[in-house]
Amino acid sequence: VTIPITTAISLGTGYDLYSKLTDIPGPDLYDYKDNIIEIVEVPPVKAPPEVETLPATEIIHDSGIVWGQLIDTGYWNVVDCRFEWGETTAYGHKTSIVRMYEGNEGDRFNAELTGLQADTTYHYRAQAVTVGVDGELKGYGSDRTFTTEKKVVKGFTMRVTNWPANAAMWNAWCEDGAGLPRIEEGPVLLSYIWEWTKPAPTSKCRLSIYAFGPWVDHNYAPTVQSDEFDVRLRNGKHYVWDFGRHELIEEAWAGRVR
């Protein structure tokens, strides 16, 4: 029998139990237990974080981007998100951590998987971990799969936009050595779309991008603007260099380069 206690009680205090049974044949029955009830506080349930695994995008023969969404940080308000991935549901690989906060609930996160095998199915799932003084709380999204393309994708494209008013041409090249991406016929007109059809470098390169004025005496073009920065160029990407913002932008996946 469960009987609610509706009077004021205090945590950590012992209470005596006195019971009386009436309305039964014979004399009333009494029972008394000394200090049998103690009121204690039940700690709140520490809810784990919640994440959702979203469909992968930009899948080519050797890479792809996996996506997840933070639904709830759970008991703690800071959560480390990443992905487990591999050729089976044993996974075996983990991506780098993306730290998110309570205010990021509903936001998406992603990771690029590289070095994959062509025509191979991969499993992945989102993972969220919070760490408190008394241990970890983990949450997992559902398992998803994607299959890499059979056809090998090589190279990338690049165009320019928002160039200086007195610019007429542009050029781009990687500084780090022979065989790296460069516009062989540069400088080229501002409308030119650079198509690099060889494999992209497997690590960052120092990319130089220049805007030039019109030719002077057919053999000299003055530099109008120049930028140099380290970047990892990827196969199958379509890039736009914004001279005004000094920013290299990835356009929406087009899959143009083969």
In a domain, 4, yes or no: no
pLDDT of 228 reads 96
Distance CA 152, CA 130 (A): 39
Concatenating the DSSP letter of every residue in 30-44 gives EEEEEEEEE--PPPP
Same domain, 60 and 112: yes
* Number of domain units in the chain: 2
Question: Which range is most confident: 82-96, 178-192, 209-223?
Answer: 82-96
Question: Which range is most confident: 22-26, 131-135, 231-235?
Answer: 231-235
Same domain, 137 and 179: no
Same domain, 100 and 168: no
0.75 surpassed by pTM: no
Q: What confidence category does residue 255 fall into, taking pLDDT thresholds of 50, 70 and 90?
A: very low
Answer whether residue 27 shows pLDDT above 70.
no
Structural domain range at position 186: 156-250
Answer whether residue 251 shows pLDDT above 90.
no
Q: What value does the mean pLDDT take over residues 114-141?
A: 92
pLDDT digits (tens, 9 = 90+) for 136-166: 899 999 999 999 999 888 899 999 999 999 9
Same domain, 84 and 160: no
In a domain, 100, yes or no: yes
Distance CA 257, CA 237 (A): 8
What type of residue is 243? F
Percent of the chain with pLDDT over 90: 62
pLDDT of 148 reads 95
- Asked whether the beta carbons of 171 and 85 are under 8 A apart, the reply is no
pLDDT digits (tens, 9 = 90+) for 204-250: 899 999 999 999 988 899 999 999 999 989 888 899 999 999 999 98
- Asked whether the beta carbons of 246 and 211 are under 8 A apart, the reply is no
What counts of helices (H) and strands (E) characterise the chain?
Answer: 0, 19
pLDDT of 186 reads 86
Distance CA 127, CA 252 (A): 26
Same domain, 134 and 190: no
In a domain, 232, yes or no: yes
Could you say which of 121, 147, 173 is where a domain stops?
147
Same domain, 166 and 246: yes
Could you say which of 147, 165, 193 is where a domain stops?
147
Give the least confident one: 2-11, 37-46, 114-123: 2-11
Which residues on neighbouring strands pair with residue 78, listed in sequence order?
101
Same domain, 204 and 235: yes
Same domain, 88 and 136: yes
- Asked whether the beta carbons of 104 and 88 are under 8 A apart, the reply is no
CA distances from 106 to 68, 71, 73, 130 (A): 10, 5, 10, 17
Answer whether residue 107 shows pLDDT above 70.
yes
What is the domain-level CATH number for residue 139? 2.60.40.10
Q: Is 95 exposed, middle or buried (0-12, 13-18, 19+ CB in 10 A)?
A: buried
pLDDT of 48 reads 94
Concatenating the DSSP letter of every residue in 137-180 gives EEEE---EEEE--SSPP--EEEEEES--TT--EEEEEESS-TTS
Could you say which of 147, 165, 194 is where a domain stops?
147
Residue pointed to by tokens 């320019």: 160
In a domain, 192, yes or no: yes
